[in-house]
Structure 1
Amino acid sequence: MTPEIPRPHRDDVLIAATSTLVGLLLWSLGVHSTGTGGTGYRHHLPVWAALVPMLATGGMELLRRTAPNVTLVVGTLAVVADQFTVGSIATVVMFTDLMYAAVVYGKPSMARRLPVTTGLITVVVTIATLAWLRSPQALMIGVLTGIVSFAPALTGATLRNHREAAEAARLRAEQTALLAEMDRTQAVAAERARMARELHDMVANHLSAIAIHSTAALSIDSPATSREALGVIRENSVQGLAEMRRLIGLLREAGAGQEAAPVPSLDGLEALLERARANGTASGLDFVLHDARRRAAPLPAPVELAAYRIVQESLTNALKHAAAGTVAVRVAREDGLLTVAVDSPYGDRPGPRAPGSGAGLVGMHERADLLGGRFTAGPRGPVWQVRAELPAEDGAVPE
């Protein structure tokens, strides 16, 4: 298949047509780059011979963008041939444009070489003409050579460098905007995941107790049992509503740039277990706390919150699924780690149970991973074990 010839650019067609018409007009008026009188090799050819290189150069203007290498070669041959005729100013002017276009639209290697090459040619021509003619007028030949070749090449190189710098700046701006958008998306996703964990951990405990005691009240035909269950349901609904209001207030205050409300800490574990005891009485559950932390150094706030939520979710799961018995919560701090362990009786249990979705285990695992800790949960014999190891030093907690 023959290669498709690229169509000339619209601006190149306009430049070629205008330059050729101006050249023809100057020729018809007898305006040449050299006089027609006198003797010399220029006048061995007829006057119309100046039209040949001029028309060739005008034709090359059509391809100044699409084939800059070809146009430069043909234009150079044409401007050299023009020196053997009476000469055309249009040919020389169009050659300067072809030199400029070769640098701007040509390959990067050509854009680098042409300014250096034309600069050297200008210097060599100046020195050679001075040595040959030994006249100050020889400097004019060097100046004209520089104007025709070196000046357009240097101008083209300057413009190309500016364009490449602008393009590089545009690409950097696009990449920066893309990275910023990716960071924003990741931040939104992380914040949504954090809110989902907080909402689940705060409300699931109360809703599980409400579900268990409402089921008991419906299944056991006893006024005393129903009254006790309704009391527990009311207490958990009020506490759950308070937790929801606290979360909503925290989000509003954080969105308004205000100081966030205090978050739960491990100092509230006793109160957390008291509520669990009240909710677990109907299921035959008891809850004990073994706190072996050293009180000397405070824990990082994210670690305090994560540990509290892991214990809270573990107690919620025990209320939902644990068999009758004792749920043991152990908290210890040593060797730069905070260890949280919750052991629940594992097995079939009588009475009402609340359904589970598995989101709690996922949330606990995510909390430990975000802090660079470890989390495990699963049955071991008659006990369901939850273990979390979290960094207890400020420098060890990821930002």
Structure 2
Amino acid sequence: MNQFLKQCRGILGNKLPKLIVLGNESCDLDSAVCCLCLAFNLAKNPGIIKSLTTCHNPVLPVLNVTREELPLKTEVVHFLRSNQVDLADLVCRDEVELPEGQSETKFVLVDHHVSRFRRNVVAVVDHRPFDGNSGLEGGTYKFIEQVGSCATLVTKLMEQVDLCKEVTEENAGVLKLLYGAIVLDTVNFSAEADRARPLDHEMAALIERSLRVEDSGAYRKQLFDELVAKRSDVSSLDSLQILSKDLKIVSKNGITVAIPGYPILVQEYIKLVGVEENLRRFAVKTNSNVIVLMGMKVTDGSVQRDLGIININNEKLHREILNKLTSCISPDFAFKKHDHVTMEGSFFQQCNVRVTRKHLLPLVTNVVDGFGSSD
């Protein structure tokens, strides 16, 4: 993997068209691992996505964060380092030109499929519901299936071309990375979280056989506990940095909603030093009208979730998002309102812990899509 990444850094300066494998803007472990592992496999085995065998552009994995933001992804940094991936060889989005207009440079999107680069997208691998408004071209290769982890789908692509049968040292490193993402994203296959699907179980078991894992239960638990601890360790981050740790942005018609997710509860977050000032600084930085805070805490495999909706400068938008989420039946967040109020916010315990940001995003997007710039 490191040799491949060094080669990728080597092509940054040339002007030749590239095949960019781009993760999503949250750059969580699933997104980062899928970006690197799919790019590695496309470079070594182009037939992993048959429609791309005629594309001879050099493959370039790009993490969808700036170099400055990368250290905020604590579990990503830890897991890559522990698997001997040299962080200096990674390519972040501010280190490469990403063309939005028609270009010979093409994109493969992993762990998302709605992108401003849609004109140049040739393939998508994603595990969230397909958005009919994505604007993808009709000939775009799409491997979209609702599973717990996008890494499951990348593993499936590898299996389909027999890359999991005879495991080389290189492949073993790739499979270890994918396995970590699957275990973390499925909350270690927790029935309470209900994230894992049959294909997640199948691909995890395949990797365990390939890596000759003897006690899968103990191996999964040790890895999950390690990754959760690293993800939850925000001790080195202030209340502004935490907001950028795992961030999604919904923006249209001059309206922007920021949706930070973080590994502590919102009720814990709003007690941090300088939180009101930093929320306002964050709103200016992201040009946000409303901020939707999503907290999650995992303790011994048990999941807690809560949510806060902060009005920055658009009460009507704040009210519409609030109504949309609290009146939603499918999915039902099962909210219980908290009395604590700060910054004109509405705060809730989320009793249905199976509902995640993947479910919330389309609801917020629907509100923003229908919200005119004149409001």
TM-score normalized by the length of structure 2: 0.22
Using CA pairs under 8 Å that are at least 6 residues apart, name the structure with larger relative contact order, 1 or 2: 2
Query: Which has more helix, going by share of residues?
Result: 1
Query: Which has more strand, going by share of residues?
Result: 2
TM-score normalized by the length of structure 1: 0.21
